[in-house]
Amino acid sequence: MPTNVKDMLAAANAEVPRISADEAHRMVKEQNAVIVDVRDPAELAAAGKIPGSVNIPRGMLEFRADATSQYHDANLSPDRPIILHCASGGRSALSGATLRQMGYTNVHNLGGFKPDWVDAGGEVEKV
């Protein structure tokens, strides 16, 4: 069945819970959650990143999340809480839906770096 980006985002946002910066802080501290930044490296270089976050560009996410892949990132495991973000929340929502399809169940969308993290007073680390 044909679809479009609007429909894909609506489905992803319905599947992956959105959380606040405060909730992300709490999950990192109390649950050992990992924050995954799915922006491209050039975006990180221009705007910075959340301290302690892991950068996995959206185009590499499936390879980094799959434990059988030679590109697997050990920060990702299906039993560890994952908090995703991008620039505005769209790529992170789609990434969350992808991780859920791959068997990750504790996946959350922080949304966008500036509007949902920086504007909420979150720390920024230069890259």
Domain limits at 50? 5-120
Backbone angles phi and psi of 110, in degrees to 5: -75, -30
Assigned domain for 59 exists? yes
Report if pTM > 0.85: yes
67-81: pLDDT as tens digits? 999 999 999 999 999
Assigned domain for 35 exists? yes
Assigned domain for 12 exists? yes
* DSSP string covering 27-70: HHHHH--EEEE-S-HHHHHHH-B-TT-EE--GGGHHHHH-TTST
Assigned domain for 127 exists? no
Task: Identify the CATH number of the domain in which residue 55 sits.
Answer: 3.40.250.10
Assigned domain for 125 exists? no
Assigned domain for 80 exists? yes
Domain count, the chain: 1
Assigned domain for 36 exists? yes
39-71: pLDDT as tens digits? 999 999 999 999 999 999 999 999 999 999 999
